Amino acid sequence: MANFVALVIAGLATGALYALVAIGFTLLWQTSQTINFAQGEFVMLPAFFMLAAMKAGLPFWAAIIVGFVLSMAILGFAFKRLLVDPMLQHGVLPLAIATMALSTFLKESVKTFYSAEASPFPSLAPDVDLNVFGVPISWQNIAILIVALMTVLALQYLLDNTFVGRQMQAAAQNPTVARILGVPVERMILYTFLINAALVALASLLISPIYLAKFTNGETLGLAAFAAAIVGGFNQIRGAVVGGLLLGVVDNLSAAYVSTQYRSAIPMFLLIVIILFRPNGLLGRPEERTI
Amino acid sequence: MSGKTQRLLAYLGLALALAFLILAPLAFRRYGLYVLSEWAVMTIAAIGLNLTLGYAGQISLAQGAFVGIGAYSAAILTTHGWPLIAAIVVAVALCFVIGWALGYPALRVQHHYLAFVTLAFSTLAFLIFRNEAWLTGGTEGIDGVPRPTILGLSMAPHLRYYYFCLLVLALASLATLGLVRSPWGRAFVALRENPIRALSLGVDTRRYILAAFAIGSALGGLSGALYAPLVGLVEPPAFNLTLSFTLLMMVIVGGSGYFLGPFLGALIAVLLPEWLRFLESYYLILYALLVMALLIYSPTGLIGILDRLLVNRRTRAASAARAAMSASIEGPAR
């Protein structure tokens, strides 16, 4: 039983990370119909920004700031301006393919210019276990859960209760009417790209101490985030959170109890079943706009 | 440029391309032959995906899995003593049936949801290739897939096997061209452009969606069945998601929905990395950059660039003709 509880909690921590990545993914989809196949690589990269900054002699906290700034400048601003904007009016597919090429580009660049080996990454939380009623819980998982939870709450507050957030929602739901009503739609889309960049940088900061920073880290993570986004519902933050947590727990439990060989099959199976029987996800609403 | 000269140019281009494909390999070494054979084999799979995606408008991220299913079928059967032709028939039939079944989700969901269902299917197929060792040899795969003997002629020499692949490619292209130009092809396009309107006009959209998946997948299986003897070794990593992505990229980069698109796309996806190999560890970086630049410049792919050039020329020619005409009209009046 203690083992089971420990597995669930570790699963929730992984799931919270999936959720952060999935939220960014759905934000991009909602405001600009970008299916970002490089989302996993977006999570892999900021850790290397931080490592490079530390190599240049900065302390860890300053390196984190540098990592976030670079991530927002490159994965947010430059990504939108250079790749998304020119292709936006040509439909979903060419852009999706371009993001696939981008993922190769990011992976190979890190491998060539930084390192092909896994690099250790400093952790925010102490590497010891907390013992709760005989269940060992690692501080890292607790830190991940707390940070992810606070981020989701802050984001939800931003979207629902602030002027900018309401404008962003309007821009996502109906850009034409939003534009008529004076919402600067273009800037709102840019904000979602910046938020996505910040979310992936955060996920990178949380996940790299556990898996070490490696150029291939994005591959499984990207897929898990897609699955989380779909399982939960493509058009809602709550959906991405539920999907992420569910996927994390199912993933962990099936690795322990079903079969390690088919571990990655379970989320995919879940994905197919959900899409076929509840195409809008567990919490999703029918999509309100068509392309 | 009139329509007639344009058609003449097109035939000339086709003849040149064919002459190159037939004559150039005579001077190629082993590796060049291998790369060109790979191009022919992958083009077949891309033609299939172009049918599903480009003509019928159904996104599929499973084409790589079908290439895998075809390759494993051929490898398993030929190592058990079957002739390759029989193995090809089985591979194509198997992929047709599985493709038909995979079409059912497409009846319920569209666009990105369909992309993810097919993506999940790819992942599951890869796991089966890797884990079911009794059938597929597990992570080690199946080694020593023999080259076939056709009409008493051994295909073991690389040049002969290349010609065999080229012949199959030619047959597959002609069959697809016939299909695309038939009422079926028009029904596929109707499905892509406006499914509801197609349905209201009496097109049985249900059947055509399933058929688009089944035929596209069958061509994937054909490609896989040719791939196995080409490489000789069939192992799981060759058929992971990356292959499905690469095939999708071939179709989009070439020009989705154009008959010649997959040929050009496969050229970019198979040959360009080889040409860039002199850059060593930088070649994939530059390759990815080139693909992005190409898509930014022309989101409709290489065919889009050709189209644009032709249209530019035509409009320039037309405006020159108009100018000449107005000059000749205004001329005498002055």
Give a yes or no: residue B329 inside a domain: no
**pLDDT score at A291:** 34
Distance CA A203, CA A152 (A): 12
Find chain B residues with C-beta within 8 A of A94's C-beta.
252, 295, 299-301
Residue B133 contacts A, CB cutoff 8 Å: no
Please identify which residue in the block is written with the tokens 């998946």: B213
Is residue B212 in some structural domain? yes
Domain extent, residue B103, equals 21-240
- Please check whether residue B269 lies inside any domain of the structure: no
Tell me if A108 and B111 make a contact (CB, 8 A cut-off).
no
Average pLDDT over residues A67-93: 90
State yes or no: ipTM above 0.90: no
Cβ-Cβ contacts under 8 Å, B287 against chain A: 104
Q: What is the pLDDT of residue A287?
A: 55
Mind telling me how many Å the CA of A241 is from chain B's nearest CA? 19
DSSP H helices, chain B, are 3-23, 30-49, 63-79, 84-108, 111-131, 133-136, 158-181, 183-193, 195-200, 205-231, 241-254, 261-266, 272-275, 283-297, 301-333
- What confidence category does residue A200 fall into, taking pLDDT thresholds of 50, 70 and 90? very high
Total domains in chain B come to 1
pLDDT at A289 over 50: no
- Beta-carbon separation of A223 and B123 below 8 A: yes
Q: Where are the extended beta strands (E) located within B51-208? A: 149-150, 153-154
Mean pLDDT over the full length of chain A: 86
What is the torsion angle, in degrees rounded to the nearest 10, for the CA atoms of residue B304, residue B60, residue B243 and residue B78? -120
**Nearest Cβ partner for A98 among B105, B109, B292:** B292
Q: Does residue B304 lie in a domain region?
A: no
Backbone angles phi, psi at B182, to 5 degrees: -85, 175
Chain A neighbors of B115, CB-CB under 8 A:
35, 96
Query: Where is mean pLDDT largest: A88-97, A100-109, B277-286, B317-326?
Result: A100-109
Q: Which residues of B touch A109 (CB under 8 A)?
A: 285
Q: Does A120 touch chain B (CB under 8 A)?
A: no
With a cut of 70, list the residues of chain B below it in pLDDT: 1-3, 110-111, 325-334
pLDDT confidence of residue B326: 65
What per-residue confidence (pLDDT) applies to B316? 73
Q: What is the mean pLDDT of residues A242-258?
A: 87
Assigned domain for B82 exists: yes
Q: Is the pLDDT of residue A282 over 80?
A: no
In this complex, is the C-beta atom of A112 within 8 Å of any C-beta atom belonging to chain B? yes
Is residue B306 assigned to a domain?
A: no
How would residue A72 be classed by pLDDT, with cut points 50, 70 and 90?
Answer: very high
Q: Compute the distance between CA of residue B121 and CA of residue B144 in angstroms, rounded to an integer.
A: 28
What is the structure's pLDDT at B224? 95
Residue A239 confidence (pLDDT): 84
- Residue A42's pLDDT is 95
With pLDDT > 70 as the criterion, what percentage of chain A qualifies?
96
The CA-atom distances, in angstroms, between A83 and each of A87, A168, A177, A291, B290 are 7, 21, 26, 19, 13
Q: pTM, whole model, 2 decimals?
A: 0.85
Is residue B264 domain-resident? Answer: no
Q: Judge whether B7 lies within some domain.
A: no
Contact B120 A91 (CB under 8 A): no
Query: What pLDDT does A67 receive?
Result: 94
pLDDT at B165: 93
CA A94 to chain centre: 22
For position A39, what pLDDT does the model report? Answer: 93
